[in-house]
Each structure stands twice: as C-alpha cells, then as structure tokens.
Amino acid sequence: MHYKELISQYSWAFLWLPPIATIATAVLTHRTSQQASSCPASSDVEANTASTAATRPVACSKAAWRKCWVEFWAFCGWSSMFWLAFLGFFLALQAAWLVNDQRLYPPPGQLYQVDLQDGSSYKPSIHMLCKGPTNTGLSTFVMEGGGGSPGVQYAGLVDELAAAGRRACWYDRLGCGWSSDAFLYPSADQAAVVLHNTLQAAGEAGPFIIAGHSVGGQLALAFAGWHPDIVSGIALLDSYDDVAIALGYLGSREVNVTLPSGRTTTRPALSQTSPALVSVLDIVRAVTPLAWARFITMNSGGSYPYQGARNAMYGNNKEWHAQWVVIASEVHGVAATSDQLADVAYNLSGGTVSNLFHGTAWPDFSPKPVLLLPAEKTLAPGVPGSCDVFALPTDAACRSQVASCTDKQCVYPSLYVRYLQTLSSNVSMTVMPGGHEFPWATYKETAAALLAKFAGV
C-alpha cells in the first residue's frame, strides 16, 4: 500500500489519543491515590520500621496468581475495564460485519489499474461497471457520483438506462466503494484523469454523456472541459459549484487575486462556512470502526435497488474517510482550490472569460446539450414565495428575482439560473420532485428525463 494511502486512511486513529490518555490518567491517578492511602504517616515511619517490614505484603511475583489477578483489576479499575469491554465488543462487531460484507457484496464490475499521471509509480484499482448495447451509434452515459458516494447508489439508474437500450456506466471514484483508498486533498483535474484513464482501460470509446450528481456535477464540467472531443452532453443532477458554496451566496464582496498562472482577476471574498462539518466527519470516521455508522445507514429511508450494498458501503471505515477527504479538501484548501479552478476555467475558455465567478466559472459548451435536474427541496428555500419552484425554468420574472437575491438561501437557485444563462445554447432545466437523493430514490423518473433530453445523442 502506498505510504500516502496509509497516512490518509488511518489518520482518524489519532482521534483516539485523547480518550486513551484520559483513561490512562484516571487509572494512574486511582492507583496513586490507593498507594498514598496505604502509606503510614511520616511520624510513624521510624517507630514502626520493624513491624512494617514484618507485615509488608508479599510482592505480586511471589504471590498466588489469584492475588495477582485481583491486584491487576484493582490497578486498572472496574470502570476502565468496562469501557475496554464495551469498545472491544463494537470493534469485533464491525470486523464481523466487514467480513460479511465482503462475502455478500463482491465487486459487481471490473477493477482496473489506472495511472494517476502524477509522476508516481502508484496505480490504484478503480472499479467500473458498464451495461447496455455497444453498437447503437449513441453516446454512453457515465455517472459521476457525489462527494464520497459509492457508485452503486447509481446502479439502479444505470440499469434503467440499459433497459431502454442505452449504454451506461457507473464507477467508484478513488477512495469510494470497491476502488482503492483516497489520498489527502484530491484535485478536480485528478478526478478527470482517473475517470478518463478508467474508461480507456475498460475499453469504452465514447462519446460520453457525463451525468454528475452533487459535487460530481463540478467534476463532470471539468471532465467535459478537458475532453470536449469525447463528451457529447452533460447532465447536472442537483449538483453545485464548490466556489459558489464556499461563498455562501453569489455576488459577495470581491477581492483582487493573482492566480497561480500569474494572471490577475477578481474573486468574491470566501467565507468558509464548513469547518464544523469537517469536525463532525472527523468524529464520524473515528467511531465508524465501532460500527455505529451502520445503525444510521441501515434505515436510510425508502427502498431502491442495491440498497443493501449501498448501506454496506456507508458502514465501511473507508467510505467515511472518503467523505472527510472531499470536505476537508474544500475547506482547508478552499482559496487555493478556487484559484486553481479559476485557472482551469480560464484555460478551457481559451482566455476569453473576464470574470470567472459570477456565472461564468466554466466554459461555454455550446452547442452541446446540457440538462439541469435540481431537486425541489434544494431550490425551494431560496425561491421567492410568490414563485412556483417547478416553474422556475420557464418563469423569467422569478428567475430575475432569484438572480438578484443576495441571501445565503438563494445560493442554489442563483447558481442554476446562471447555469441556464451561460452553460450552453442548448441547455434546459427540469425541477425534480423530492430531495437530493432523487437519482436513486426515483431512478425511473430520472432515467426518463435523461432519455428525453439525450434522445438520439
């Protein structure tokens, strides 16, 4: 295993140092107090030297084993032994679950050794599964999952597309599902490199329709920008741009910055609103080895294909570490990441973009078809009460109100209005009922929307 992989995978273990130190301190304090209470007063030492020597307890090494065992329990303290037994039980339970998961859910697709093109000799295994006919002359759908999401969440959607006669693929991004572990702070272009090389290794020639969900939407835009020759369409499924989310809202105070390329531009002042989420994920990935995450994911709401495999993935230590890697990379390196993405967008646009953060932080993909599928519950908090959220794609007055809104709740609808204005001359939007989970919770409806937009593509 690569040393970076070891560091990133097991860094959660350091979170156990404080409780271990606390228990050890309590044990030592308890033992010290026992010793102090059993010692004679200093005034009695000289007078009782002989009697003390005569009655001094026999050392444990010379006593019977039973007496040593009692001394050991007294040294450790019953409370400490209870917690050791308690934690040991859940560690054993998680280990048993992981073994059972490997038996019940082997990789359904193929594992491909992929070159990261980062100058290292490390080639991780990336899991991908493609279904559907290969000789239709139509594009292949490729699902780009959300941050830390296992690809199996989109397996039902891929099955539905394949049943309709279209070729479709899902894969596990580095660190997720059946793929190898993630490094610390992966970049958007690294994800594009991994996907491109995985498709090549799988023998998928394209062209491709990249469908990105959640943070996968930004990765889909990056992939489409880097590989315009093999991308024939883009679908954004309740996705977002991390620059917009880092801002909290679009149109905030601007600052002048010099990008890594040396070019000077403006950037809204970033307000990092997510460090608390990183701390929460730190705790979650620390307690996941105790199987506690499984009690949350066992009842994830609704019923959909491959739910058992999905729940098993979210009960895995690796999956929550992948979640932490994605969020930590956005929070700890948000300014640097934003500057890097600005350079990426600038280069992809041919140097024609003047302001990269007000609706133009991506190249113009015209005339390629682009489908926007935001979720009702995502948009609703930022849509004016006088507007129907489902009418937002066609109601120009509501879009105008949303575009001028500076409240943080408007970040998602504002982003989608700007997507409509700038992504392509062939862009359309349909608001999907429900919440962020619609790509797998209502996979049939999602497949129908994709098939309608990209018929014949």
Sign of the dihedral through C-alpha 299, 300, 306, 309: negative
pTM equals: 0.74
Tally the C-alpha atoms within 13 A of residue 339's C-alpha that lie toward its C-beta: 15
Scored b (16 or more CB within 10 A) or e, 106-116 reads: ebebbbbebeb
> How does DSSP assign 3-58, residue by residue?
HHHHHHHHGGGGGGHHHHHHHHHHHHHHHHHHHHHHSPPHHHHTTTHHHHHHHPPP
Query: Alpha-carbon dihedral of residues 21, 22, 24, 29, nearest 10 degrees?
Result: 130
In the chain, what are the domains?
A: 110-453 (3.40.50.1820)
| Spatial separation of the C-alpha atoms in residues 228 and 220, rounded to whole Å | 11
In sequence order, what are the residues at sequence separation of 6 or more whose Cβ sits closer than 8 angstroms to the Cβ of residue 271?
246, 247, 248, 252
Return the closest-CA partner of residue 316 out of 151, 98, 134: 98
Contact present, 249 and 407 (Cβ < 8 Å): yes
Both tokens of 88, joined, read 């040991």
User: DSSP class of residue 353?
Assistant: -
273 vs 406: CA distance, rounded Å: 16
Helix H or strand E segment including 440: helix 438-441
DSSP letters of 146-191? -TT--GGGGHHHHHHHHHTT--EEEE--TTSTTSPPPPSS--HHHH
Q: For residue 303, how far is the Cα from the chain centroid? A: 22
Question: How does pLDDT run across 259-277, given as a tens digit for each residue?
Answer: 445 655 554 444 344 556 6
How high is the pLDDT of residue 349? 47
pLDDT at 54: 42
Residues of the chain whose pLDDT is less than 50?
A: 1-9, 35-36, 38-62, 246-255, 259-260, 267-273, 333-339, 349, 351-360
On whether the CB atoms of residues 387 and 443 are closer than 8 A, the answer is no
Give the CA-trace dihedral at 291, 297, 303, 305, to 10 degrees. Answer: -70
Handedness of CA 184, 188, 190, 195 (dihedral sign): positive
Are the CB atoms for 209 and 453 separated by under 8 Å?
no
What is the pLDDT at residue 448?
A: 97
